[in-house]
Amino acid sequence: MNKKVLILCTGNSCRSIIAEALINAELEGIDAESSGVKASGKVNPNAKKVLEQEGIWRDEYHSKTLDTVIDNDYDLVITVCDNAKETCPMFPKPVKTIHVSFEDPDGQEFKAFEETLKRIKNELLPIVEKELR
């Protein structure tokens, strides 16, 4: 049975989508989903582009509101922005929650998205693995 992770940020358009894709592509036995506390309803085009560049984009990735995932069972919830940490809801079932903050690349050049992907890959993935193994 795979472990389940929820990546939570504010808009669910950049960082959390990138983290979701990286975890699903690189961490065997761990399934990730993402959501936003105030979901934008769209994936940032540069987030999609950087994931396509890595060869890990899936058409199923989309911006989701918290109410669509809050009743799911998770082994770990990770907030990736300070706003999400401060507004992280109580989940119906007890779940471990950790915070690993990344700067929002939204509105910046494409290079910022590449750097965000690299940071998430190098910093977040080892933490997820450590927490769930």
Give the residue numbers annotated as catalytic, written as ranges: 9, 81, 88
Torsion of CA 72, 78, 79, 85, to 10 degrees: 80
Contact by Cβ (8 Å): 80, 97: no
Longest dimension (CA), the chain: 39
Task: Locate 128 and state its tokens.
Answer: 């997820």
Question: What backbone phi and psi angles, to 5 degrees, belong to 4?
Answer: -120, 135
Contact by Cβ (8 Å): 23, 93: no
